Amino acid sequence: MWRVITPQVVLRNTVTDADGDTANLTFQVYTTNADGTPKAQVDLDGAGQHGVLVSSYVASGSTAKVTVPYGKLKPGVLYKFRTSAYDGSLYETDWSPWADFRIEPYVKFPAAQTTPPINSNVQEIKEFNRSDPGPALPVFAANGAVKRKATQERSCGEPDDEGRKLCIELSPPTAESKARAKQRSAALREAEVDKARKAGKSVASAVAPAVELVDWCSDKAGGKDYMTRGEACLKNIGSGTLVFIDPEGAELGFGVFDFEQRIKAYPNKGSSGSDFAEFDQQVVIVPVSMDAALEGVTMKWNVGSNCKACVTSTTRWKDDQNNDAGPTAHWKVDPTRPYAGRWGTVQTTWNGTGKETIDLGWSVTARVDASTTAIAYADFGSSGIEGVRELAPRCDDIVKGSAPGCVLSYFKTNWTVDSNRYPAASAYYWYMQQVMPDHAGSKRWDSLMHYLGPDTPVKNSAGTTWTSSNSRNVICGPSSAWSLHPADASVGSVDCDEFAMASTHESGGYPKSYNLVTSGTKCAQLYTDKMGDGSANFGILADTRTATNGPAGTERCGRAAISSAQNQQAFSGFPVPTWRMLDGDGFFVTLPGFEHCASTATTCTWRKVS
């Protein structure tokens, strides 16, 4: 059986004349019974009782063909056809063998559903690997392999007046340190539950520890780093061992500490509680053990920044219960009870104009009470190497409709198209992601789209900022030669819908696009039609008015006749203002009702998402 991707079927067969004369072919089409036998003849020409189509004359041994007009054949229906030759004087006495074909859309889907809605802007917390965790920790590749080994095992300060030195060794998280982190998180969570009970509230009302800057971080496993567009939870810093050494090199005492960090960027100044764009940083330091020879330990958190328009506060220290813990993180040696953690937070406000990406660096300076001058220094690395800068906040006052704010722009957002409410648009986008050479926006191919932002430097012919309207005009505008394809009346009003979207750098109309075309006629041409198999479904089919065989699979863009409402609403609300998307920011587009399909070789059928 042949799979056909348009109702405007081109029927072909080879014609051979015994005398070598030119000949034509008469084409006859039937529907089929359940057992595959011919059922009823289809009236192909509408001109009389014969209901056949006749080809032009062709040379013997050549292929004769006819195109069935739109409306004669229906998507989803199994048909049979046969041919008979005529050389101008003699008719062939027998019909050719039957050949079967079915018109199958690329994608099949129902009418728009009203429930359940899918949240288009929900984001997952993602694990990531730091590109610059400092010299004492290894750098990991995306697959978990060590990309760069630690280059510094121990860092020591200058000797004090008595010749003693203080050193510190950082080590990656171990099974023991991960277990400690899990136990601390559970204890802090239980404390919040106790507070809720004492206040007469339900246990379900217990929230993250009040001292926690990033509320979801306390529940995350140790040994990994996590982030969203606005927050980062660093649980892969590991532990530090202080070593106090006498002039002869003998080790006088040790202290072991666990470290974690947080970053919180506020998407607008109102959400921070201040009158400026803001991002905050937090360090968590928890003593595991301290030998008596140290007498006590003080930790200072050093926060570096290259910000040109920032004001950064001093570190404010809290204990595990969010009580003030004094001006420093200090612990006296006391073997009779466990040591409490210290949470140091600094606030940075930005009052600049335009946009600024701010590089950060962190370290800890340690002192012991047993010496007035001995110090040790631990380097926690930076916000990332040039070209990555995964933890560098970006602040701006450019985003329209939003007060100034900051985000972690390295985080790539995901727009989930509501494939329940917008199945036609979703089906079309899914198909284009599969066949476009760059698979624009597809997570499967890890291929980002990039937002065409208000700060783009690209200009149009009038010398003003290039916008999505300029890109759309190339693909679907008045001079793009797009015309409405006939379709069943149940499809309703349709628009020319372009892919990749006009609001992206991947649009075929964007001047610097990898997918740049001179006209929408260069795109894959598609349209929506009703299935004719008795179901209430619709399908995405090939518009073969320009390309007889449909899309070749090499086109760098698409345009399709898609329900007007779905075309206009599938990306309504994008980008979310709190994402603070600027020009070139990467994002993915997911299509949950179709992600189960692996190939366009067969029809992808929509699934409802609960």
Q: Show the tokens assigned to 135.
A: 């010299």
Q: Show the tokens assigned to 327.
A: 């001006």
Q: By the 8 A CB rule, do 229 and 411 touch? A: yes
- Look at the chain and count its residues: 610
- Average model confidence (pLDDT) across the chain: 95
Domains for the chain: give ranges and CATH numbers: 2-104 (2.60.40), 126-171+224-396 (no CATH), 417-605 (no CATH)
Work out the pLDDT band at 270, boundaries 50, 70, 90: confident
**Long-range CB contacts for residues 440-443, cutoff 8 Å, separation at least 24:** 440/499, 440/500, 440/504, 440/506, 440/515, 440/589, 441/500, 441/504, 441/506, 441/587, 441/588, 441/589, 442/588, 442/589, 443/414, 443/588, 443/590
Residue 377 has pLDDT above 70, yes or no: yes
Q: Which H or E element spans position 565?
A: helix 564-569
- Burial class of 357 by CB neighbour count within 10 A (0 to 12, 13 to 18, 19+): middle
Residue 192: predicted pLDDT: 85
Instruction: For residues 161-183, give the mean pLDDT.
Output: 94
Residue 295 has pLDDT above 80, yes or no: yes
Work out the pLDDT band at 205, boundaries 50, 70, 90: low
Q: Which H or E element spans position 475?
A: helix 468-476
- Residues 100-110 have pLDDT tens digits of 999 999 999 99
- Prediction pTM value: 0.92
Which 8-state DSSP code applies to residue 423?
Answer: H
* 496 φ/ψ sector (left φ>0, alpha ψ -120 to 50, else beta): beta
Residue 220 has pLDDT above 70, yes or no: yes
Backbone angles phi, psi at 138, to 5 degrees: -75, 160
Residue 609 has pLDDT above 90, yes or no: yes
* 376 φ/ψ sector (left φ>0, alpha ψ -120 to 50, else beta): beta
Q: Show the tokens assigned to 388.
A: 């990555």
- Residues 463-498 have pLDDT tens digits of 999 999 999 999 999 999 999 999 999 999 999 999
How many Cβ atoms are within 10 Å of 183's Cβ, its own excluded? 10
Which 8-state DSSP code applies to residue 451?
Answer: B
Identify which of 229, 239, 131 has the alpha carbon closest to the alpha carbon of residue 178. Answer: 239
* 109 φ/ψ sector (left φ>0, alpha ψ -120 to 50, else beta): beta
Q: By the 8 A CB rule, do 104 and 604 touch? A: no
Tally: H helices and E strands in the chain: 5, 36
- Residues 523-570 have pLDDT tens digits of 999 999 999 999 999 999 999 998 988 999 999 999 999 999 999 999
Q: By the 8 A CB rule, do 485 and 527 touch? A: yes
3-state SS of 6-47 is: CCCCEEEEECCCCCCCCEEEEEEEEEECCCCCEEEECCCCCC
Residue 33: predicted pLDDT: 96
Residue 376 has pLDDT above 80, yes or no: yes
Please, which residues bridge with residue 194 across strands? Answer: none
Residue 195: predicted pLDDT: 83
Residue 340 has pLDDT above 80, yes or no: yes
User: What whole-number distance in Å separates Cα of residue 131 and Cα of residue 27?
Assistant: 66
Work out the pLDDT band at 269, boundaries 50, 70, 90: confident
Work out the pLDDT band at 577, boundaries 50, 70, 90: very high
Instruction: For residues 75-87, give the mean pLDDT.
Output: 97
- Residues 413-458 have pLDDT tens digits of 999 999 999 999 999 999 999 999 999 999 999 999 999 999 999 9
Q: By the 8 A CB rule, do 45 and 53 touch? A: yes
Residue 48 has pLDDT above 70, yes or no: no
Instruction: For residues 503-521, give the mean pLDDT.
Output: 97
User: What whole-number distance in Å separates Cα of residue 200 and Cα of residue 386?
Assistant: 51
